Chains A and B, each alone.
Chain A
Amino acid sequence: MIHVYAFAEELDELPESAGLDGAPLERRSVDGVTAVFSRRAAPSSQESLRDDALAHGAVVDALMERATAVLPVRFGEVVADEAALDASVEARVATFRRAFEDVRDCVELALRVWAAAAPEAETPVTGADYLGARAAEESQRRAAVDSLDRDVSSLARAVSLRGGTAAPGELLGAAYLVPRRRLDDARRVVQAFADAHEGLTVVFTGPWPPFSFVEEPA
């Protein structure tokens, strides 16, 4: 079977590193869409899952340096053979081209903001004070986080908000597709926000391959 890492546009050369199970990386192009893959005898076992997923990510990372646009494939996608791979690319060449257009020269940045563990001001005396303080706290935080999201979004080509599975106390969980040349601007914006809001926990990571900005893989 064939394990697919990513589809790339104008890939100049394959990374030197090996793929999963030490198999060499291979490439195949159909109409300007280059699939990067390696061969495997069997899917990952429960024990090797974590290491394999990291190795998959490392290959995608290496490709990011070598192509104008990379569409990472979610870990675990396999096809039977080269013919099946070609067929799946051929069927969606136009989709791939559009997707390359969308992510070209961009990286993904991940931003998460959490409320402080125990936001305690002075002890309120009355019930109305207590509820009032809680309401003020909530709306202040919301306003701050919304403005941060707006500022980073203004530098981004696309935004992907993670809904539903927020961790406890999480106020914002988002991925931004940002042109490489704006990476420093984005970092400055978030750093300034973090400095101005000591009560909040801010974690901003990247650059990542645009995992949150590709549609369902092959």
Chain B
Amino acid sequence: MTERHQAFDRLLVASGDVETVARRLDARADRAPRRVTADPEKVEQGLAQLVLTLIELLRQLMERQALRRMDTGTLSDEQVERLGLTFMRLSERMDELKETFGLRDEDLNLDLGPLGSLL
């Protein structure tokens, strides 16, 4: 495993949750196309993964947009409150759904090849 040795020799600084990041990158490097399996036991989880990925994408996009509008001051206090509550609940609900279907954060993603990953 000399290549591994070399890789560690080159590690100047590593701190924080390196394992999670490495797992995410591994998942990305795995270029095998993701499929929804037809196994009746797993089809539900596969579909849930796909649907939750899309919801998570929309949630992140909308949240970013809301933060930007808040920054530029184009939202009234009432709108900020209402949007904030929506995102907070959506985020909580996503956490519950992820737990229900046994999915981790890094599972909610799609590899778009040369474009990188969706989220």
Contact = CB atoms under 8 A, between A and B. Distances in A.
Contacts of B18: 201, 203
Most buried by A among B3, B12, B24, B105: B12
Contacts of A199: 16
A207 B114 CA distance: 26
Given A116-B17, A166-B116, A168-B119, A206 B106 contact: no
Interface in B26-68: 28, 63, 66-67
Interface string B53-85: 000000000010011001100000100111111
B100 interface: no
Interface residues on B, range: 35 or more
A155 B17 CA distance: 27
Contact of B10 (A117, A118, A126, A207): A207
B84 to A, nearest CB: 3
A128 B115 contact: no
B60 to A, nearest CB: 10
Interface string A178-218: 00000000110011001101111111111110000000000
A208 B66 contact: no
B24 to A, nearest CB: 6
A109 B38 CA distance: 45
B97 interface: no
A202 B12 contact: no
B84 A129 contact: yes
Interface of B: 3, 6-7, 10-18, 20-21, 24-25, 28, 63, 66-67, 70-71, 77, 80-88, 105-106, 109, 114-117, 119
Interface of A: 54, 58, 61, 109, 112, 114, 116-118, 124, 126-132, 134-135, 138, 164-169, 186-187, 190-191, 194-195, 197-208
